[in-house]
Chain A
């Protein structure tokens, strides 16, 4: 992380840099390396304002629709149909088609809800927290990370809504003056969830859209077809790049970042209260809020990598999404992964230290009971494999390896939620009420269907919206530097 903090503006401290170069064994003449910091450059050299606009806007404005994109859309759309089928059957038959029953009353629905929301968190972290910390490298990846957040929240929101049994009465969750004169119960974490998740969804959409307004202006002015001009012109709201507008816009962005930061920390904390407030062994623990938030960011960065690696390959964006981004994301994953590892360790420790018979049995059952395999899958995917390999810079910048690790961590984080939900509940206090949990085909279809929906929405986004913020990239180019002293201008003044 120390090297990560050395931004572009860092003073040239040659001694330290030589040391860093020596220990890292990097060729100095490599054009991808910034000689000042010894890090990979955030943007590959040779970019101009014009080339950045052309590169990003033309992905959207080209009239050509590539066959590869069409094929992906066809596949993702078909997979998303599974969700439609599963939800239709659910509405006809009720939640009995799922595996939820006593003693496991919460199954795939809550597992997938928590998993998807967690994935969304990295998008907000990149767009808000890294903006506040002035991490310029985030600029290339923040737009599609935000898009990822929104689509992940869409997928997440499906699950609680279809799990409430009578989804057409979902509006009862809100404090509305209904004729029944019944109001929500504000002491329940489940209601807090309603407010946390809906606020998160709305603020994410606002932040995302606001960020795109200037880029829509660029698209409006570059579009050739009348339809595109009209459409992007409408959503650009008449943006014309006045510096007065820009200053208010920058203030609003910073404020939204400052607001989204406590929001993103609160959302997964509130979700963890759904568990932590209950008295079930394995849930009733105070470490849940920080451990959920760290896990969310861990899985979210894994998902950003899963998306960024194919994107930069297929759309030839290697000059804007560089090895530096992949490397830095690996570092963030290493950091949050270690927090998650501490959380797992503390859970095991507390089950012994609490001297509670039920806690101790829960942990033993989680590790060595009939579903113990899921705990070891989780340990391998989240701890054993990533946290041993991510230390190596060579592996962090190896694209196939990082793609592999992103898939593994996403799997691991799904199993974390599975372990928390299922293995805490299927053998609770009384052995006479013990049971098991076996997901049905409808559970799997719903889950796989949301994966299709997410991919489909993301494909639409990369084709029709600017996936990298052009103005933020331009700000980082060397040409954007204001040379300090004016030459005396002849004849200025009247």
Chain B
């Protein structure tokens, strides 16, 4: 009994335990439902799954199933980010416990019952629980926003290395707060039309109505919601990495105001899509620029830090460029978290900007289904990059060392980047080959994508397997990590 109690206590009362549970659930859901599409469908695995697991896949409900699947996975990611935030950003212990408890109950309820409803027959009690879980997550967000309030005396800072106002308000904390408020508002932005469409079970995918000239206000709100939620998840992750790398100094002072202003403008732009659709995209682009600059400043700071620490360990006093580069690449986990942010600019931002600029001249010359591939690929890649950054960060926190750290880190980076690069190529294939000649390119891009994703999933599986085995050990790693139930130690560990 004590065996079980201790493990459950670790998994649900410590930050690393909570993150481990969420990653494991995402991994299980991804593995299971990944068998229903793409190459698994072509290999006939989908049919096997339907026959042997009692899946009920009414073709008319495909859109609804996908929406629930995306929401459940996104909720788990939001929960992971929340666990990190409550551990990294100073707040009362009682606040941290309340927030973590509420969001854990929320995302697990949402995930279990949402997927059950979507894939295993329609028990409407389960749909209600799916919604109730999301409501709990929203309340956790309200509590988090309250806990992050930056103008409390105890959170004022006089640290000259940190971005702050003359009155001592910590601008990084303001950035967290702004992100949290924007997220709550953006949740409602989707929930209100969602409740209308959802109650009538009239699910639709945004990419299917992209060329519809007249979109209703509720349809516009749904499109805005999915864009801003992914953006804010990315903003939150950037802020988490700022803490993880102990971002401070001159660059921090520039980055945090940019992050605050950018987040506000992007969010305002997306919310404006309903009344001012014609200019909303311009506002969003204007807001994206400072956020991207802030992210790149973090990358510069983090890479410099990684290289300098490595050189210090190696006792190299005056390194040349090659030596610095080798030092930087010596730690694939920490290098990779930031590299993925840079790589995103090539496979997400650049492709997105190109599509926006060339919309009428090139993209709209293609059929809608081709544009759809570009749109879905675009945000799948962004979601995938976010996932790999979290994975690398978690592996770092798990204390992977030596050769295992090298192999894990590089395989995740190269595997994911290969996959995301191939998807970017697939999205834009009509630029390079004619439709009649696209098959070879399509097959190759899909093959490389599958190889890359399989590599990442294999690494994820190995990491989860290692952690599972560890849980059965009396003096396993988990016992050391459990000590971070006192969150101060987690912060110190990260600061190291």
A pairs with B: no
- Chain A residues close to B by CB (< 8 Å): none
